[in-house]
Amino acid sequence: MSATQTRPVGLLAQYETPADLLHAALEVRDAGYRQWDVYSPFPIHGMDAAMDLRNSKVGYFTFAGGITGFFSGMLMIWFMNKFDYPIVVGGKPLFTPLFAFPVSYELTILLGAFGTLFGMAFLNRLPKLYNPLFNVDRFRRVTDDKFFVYIEAIDPKYSAESTRSLLEKTGATAIDVVED
């Protein structure tokens, strides 16, 4: 990055233990922030509730993918066996959902999995090759033994002073201004 001019985009607070991070998340949630996230080397039980996260919307993509797979399987077999090239096999009907079912079922799973994977990537805006958090050297230890809360400046409740004092109050061991 040849950043000629940088501006602050948020505050990053570091914590030493998962418990500290959980308590900090509760405080930030109760203070009413919406544009924020936590970072940890491993999943922490209860964090979803502490952050007031609702169910992931990935399930809708999975469901849509599964339904598409099921009906495209049925349609494919109907088209090939009954419409495009009708041929009697083993005295069976030209089309019935019975023998089309195993294929439709497999396609349900396949497109359901695609829906899950690509839905997740879409909702997370992945792939994302750059994040301003990479500018903070301290943040590298998030993959090892440190825990972080990041509050973005675009949050309506954000202000450089009050947000910093909130993070200090929650027991942060270091606070950095993230610049972009």
**Scanning residues 103 to 162, which ones bind other proteins (CB under 8 A)?**
none
The pair of structure tokens assigned to 47 is 């964090």
Under rule CB under 8 A, residue 95 binds other proteins: no
Under rule CB under 8 A, residue 98 binds other proteins: yes
Amino acid in position 122:
F
**Scanning residues 52 to 71, which ones bind other proteins (CB under 8 A)?**
52-55, 59, 63
Q: Closest approach of Cβ 105 to other proteins, in Å? A: 9
Q: Closest approach of Cβ 114 to other proteins, in Å? A: 18
Distances, alpha carbon 177 to alpha carbons 158, 168, 180, in Å: 13, 13, 10
Q: Closest approach of Cβ 58 to other proteins, in Å? A: 11
Under rule CB under 8 A, residue 78 binds other proteins: no
The pair of structure tokens assigned to 43 is 């999943």
Output 45 or 128, the one with its CB closest to other proteins: 45
Helix (H), strand (E) at residue 116 = helix 97-123
Could you tell me which residues are beta bridge partners of residue 13? 149, 175
What is the spatial distance between Cα 166 and Cα 64, in angstroms, rounded to a whole number?
42
Output 63 or 118, the one with its CB closest to other proteins: 63
**Scanning residues 21 to 50, which ones bind other proteins (CB under 8 A)?**
45-46, 48-49
Could you tell me which residues are beta bridge partners of residue 37? 150
How many residues bind other proteins (CB under 8 A)? The answer is: 17
* Closest by CA position to 159, among listed 177, 174, 172, 173: 177
Q: Where are the beta strands (DSSP E) in 42-168?
A: 147-152
User: Which residues are near other proteins by CB under 8 A?
Assistant: 45-46, 48-49, 52-55, 59, 63, 90-92, 98-99, 101-102
